[in-house]
Amino acid sequence: MTAPLSERLTALRDFIVAKKQAAFRRDVDWNAALPNRADLTTARCARAAEGLIAVLDEEAKTPVFLPDERIALTRTVRNLPPRCSDAETAELRKSAYLHELGVVFNVSPNYAATIAVGLDARRAEIVERLEQAQTESDAEGIDFLTATLASVDAILRLAESYRAAAEQAGLTEIAETLAQVPRRGARTLLEAFQFFRILHYSLWCEGAYHNGVGRFDQIFAPYLDADLAAGRLDRDGARELVAEFFLSFNRDSDLYVGVQQGDNGQSLMLGGCDSTGADASNLLTELALEACGQNRLIDPKINLRVSSATSFDLLKKATDLTRLGLGFPQYANDDVVIPGLTKLGYDLADARDYTVAACWEFVIPGVGSDVPNVAAVSFPAAVDAVLRSPEATQAAENNDFDAFLALFRAELFRRADEIAESLERFDVLPCPLVSLLCDGRVEAARDAASGGKYVNFGIHGTGVAPAVDSLFAIKRLVFDEKRVSPARFVEILDADFDAERFPEAAELLARARRLPKMGNDEPEPDALAVRLLADFADSWEGRRNCRGGVFRPGTGSAMYYLWHANELPASPDGRRRGEPFPANYAPSLGVPIRGPVGVVASFAKPDLTRVVNGGPLTLELHDSVFAFADGVEKVARLVQFFVKRGGAQMQLNAVNRDRLLDAQKNPEKYRNLIVRVWGWSGYFVELDRPYQDQILRRAETTFPT
């Protein structure tokens, strides 16, 4: 077992969890502070930079130090200046599609390159390139580089204000750290962590969001190695420093953008291979897992790259976090993901360097300008549309289920056409600081909003299991048993299986629910799953987006497991109106599942290299699994089985439904109860009721291993 937190870090953790740092926060009237904004047409980067500069200069007025911390920087400005007015945003949306808030987000910057050399060196690069842009009268380049230079200077002012305040307060170690970074490159692990904190903090202040951490154990391993070699740290001291670094992710996270509290994109990746394919896991991989177990907080979210070569000892260390009920690590299988990324056109070395964006979508650190969650296809909605078509009635009259499946395939293509057309005019507002941390942007004198090495679009695919189960129910009930016609089935679904209006509805509902379902290693429904995901992949194959990239289909749901479900009536599989879909790639809610091995076997049968945008197999384990001495080992064996069977991504959650129900009734007793929501973990009592209820439905289908 990992040692508990030190007394110092326990006090710091308690301070942060109690949100005592919120007492330092204040609101700013940005309309008064920024009366004359840069022109959004001719000086987009200047508009972005002025907001960042205003925030950082405001923050520099009131440096805050938490009790006994070693890594400084706490946000005191509660609200950020909006990038655009409502009128400006409306005007922009008339001419192009703006995704979410419209800015660069959901990327994994290359923090390591800047941490290594310092902002003085990066500033010199910008100045040199700006002189060239001015010589060439490159207006767009001048806008970008001038804004980037001003952003760097604002960060340096903020850091200096903190250094001076630390020195005045007698905080010698913090003052010495800030005398080195961010102006110069980091030399120690503490300096590297402080540098990262400054950069990551500033990205949020710029208005960028879901700023991924990247491959944590690869970024910081050189600094740990240097400290160990010099005797500055031992293993325990290094773990304590990692734990404090991880605590820093929880200071301001309640101020961050997200659909729900906790949906903030603070995800990091551990393990995996290097550019040659060799195992790259290291001591920092283990220390990160241990430190998360000590902190027991939702941030940062942990992802672990695994493969057939991953040591069983590492899997057990990872499973110990699952035992604690953190909802992570989320696993990604290199044996599937890397070949899938190369099929999409990623260079092999880049594919081997993959990490995750905010939740599960795979991105390449530093060089990826992908938009990995640009749209979603609802598979149950496609089934519903086909069932309502005159062609479905004709297929049923001819007893030709293959014709029905062909209609479903055509519907997927139609939906792909519709989405692709809606994205033909696509716009992104710049984030110069994010771009500074993306490879080649200073050299190109262009913001990451204008593109990068990879500019692909990711498409979620929601409700795989409900769609498969519905297709199989249609096959049995309409085609094989001829219990109901397509038209009559639609009427019954629209009436939510109302037995008073339709005498056969109750029997039809019961029969639909008894049929074999995806998740029990049943040949017939699983064969439909193989076909569905192949058709989905085919519907996007060969398409190019408006930025010159490809489309990446995946099996993730995000919040669409509620949104898409709310758009539909009852479905042929026996799902009633208003019932949500399962999270991501998982069995339908309420389906009797015989065990996790069958679930893994079912969900690994499709060719997942073709739907590699991401979307984890999501399994709920009853927390009693870990009541026995061999619980961790048994769950680790399940992860090993998942890898060997060719699963792409998986998240395991240890839950207790009785505890969740009590938390709904008595939230004050469960402030720190953590659950996995979709691609991230959050505090159960902070979630809106529909998300709590969906998690409770998932908890109905828990099983021991």
Q: What is the pLDDT of residues 666-694, one digit of tens each?
A: 999 888 888 888 777 888 888 989 989 88
Question: H or E stretch including 662?
Answer: helix 657-665
- What Cα–Cα distance (Å) separates residue 666 from each residue in 116, 391, 669? 48, 52, 6
Burial level of 245, CB count in 10 A (0-12/13-18/19+)? buried
- What Cα–Cα distance (Å) separates residue 622 from each residue in 225, 321, 619, 684? 39, 14, 10, 16
Question: H or E stretch including 143?
Answer: helix 139-168
Give the pLDDT band of residue 700 (cuts 50, 70, 90).
confident
| Other CB atoms within 10 Å distance of the CB of residue 418 | 11
Average pLDDT of the segment spanning 631-654? 95
pLDDT attached to residue 703: 54
pLDDT attached to residue 539: 98
Q: What is the pLDDT of residues 58-114, one digit of tens each?
A: 999 999 999 999 999 999 999 999 999 999 999 999 999 999 888 988 899 999 999
pLDDT attached to residue 518: 97
pLDDT attached to residue 683: 85
CA atoms within 13 A on the CB side of 147: 30
596-603 vs 631-644: helix crossing angle, rounded to 10:
20
User: By three-state DSSP, how is residue 103 classified?
Assistant: strand
For residues 246 and 301, give the distance between their C-alpha atoms in angstroms, rounded to a whole number: 10
Average pLDDT of the segment spanning 284-290? 98
For residues 41 and 678, give the distance between their C-alpha atoms in angstroms, rounded to a whole number: 37
Return the structure tokens found at 452: 């990068």
pTM: 0.95
For residues 105 and 92, give the distance between their C-alpha atoms in angstroms, rounded to a whole number: 18
Q: What is the pLDDT of residues 57-70, one digit of tens each?
A: 999 999 999 999 99
pLDDT attached to residue 676: 80
Backbone dihedral angles phi then psi of residue 550, each to the nearest 5 degrees: -105, 175
Average pLDDT of the segment spanning 282-288? 98
Average pLDDT of the segment spanning 31-53? 93
Q: Where are the alpha helices (DSSP H) in 429-494?
A: 432-436, 441-444, 464-474, 486-494
For residue 343, is pLDDT > 90? yes
pLDDT attached to residue 673: 85
Contacts of 347 (CB under 8 A, 6+ apart): none
pLDDT attached to residue 670: 83
User: By three-state DSSP, how is residue 560 classified?
Assistant: helix
For residue 702, is pLDDT > 70? no
Average pLDDT of the segment spanning 239-268? 91
For residues 544 and 452, give the distance between their C-alpha atoms in angstroms, rounded to a whole number: 15
Q: What share of the chain is helix, strand, coil (3-state, %, to 5)?
A: 50, 10, 35
Give the pLDDT band of residue 359 (cuts 50, 70, 90).
confident
For residue 347, is pLDDT > 60? yes
Eight-class DSSP state of 101: E
For residue 553, is pLDDT > 90? yes
Give the pLDDT band of residue 266 (cuts 50, 70, 90).
very high
pLDDT attached to residue 1: 57
Q: What percent of the chain has pLDDT over 90?
A: 85
Give the pLDDT band of residue 590 (cuts 50, 70, 90).
confident
For residues 16 and 59, give the distance between their C-alpha atoms in angstroms, rounded to a whole number: 19
What is the sign, positive or negative, of the torsion defined by CA atoms of 513, 518, 520, 522?
Answer: positive
Average pLDDT of the segment spanning 620-634? 88
For residue 443, is pLDDT > 70? yes
For residue 701, is pLDDT > 90? no
Average pLDDT of the segment spanning 31-40? 90
Better-scored residue on pLDDT, 153 or 264: 153
For residues 281 and 286, give the distance between their C-alpha atoms in angstroms, rounded to a whole number: 8
For residue 43, is pLDDT > 80? yes
For residues 329 and 635, give the distance between their C-alpha atoms in angstroms, rounded to a whole number: 13
Cβ atoms of 320 and 632 closer than 8 Å: yes
Q: What is the pLDDT of residues 446-505, one digit of tens each?
A: 999 998 999 999 999 999 999 999 999 999 999 999 999 999 999 999 999 999 999 999
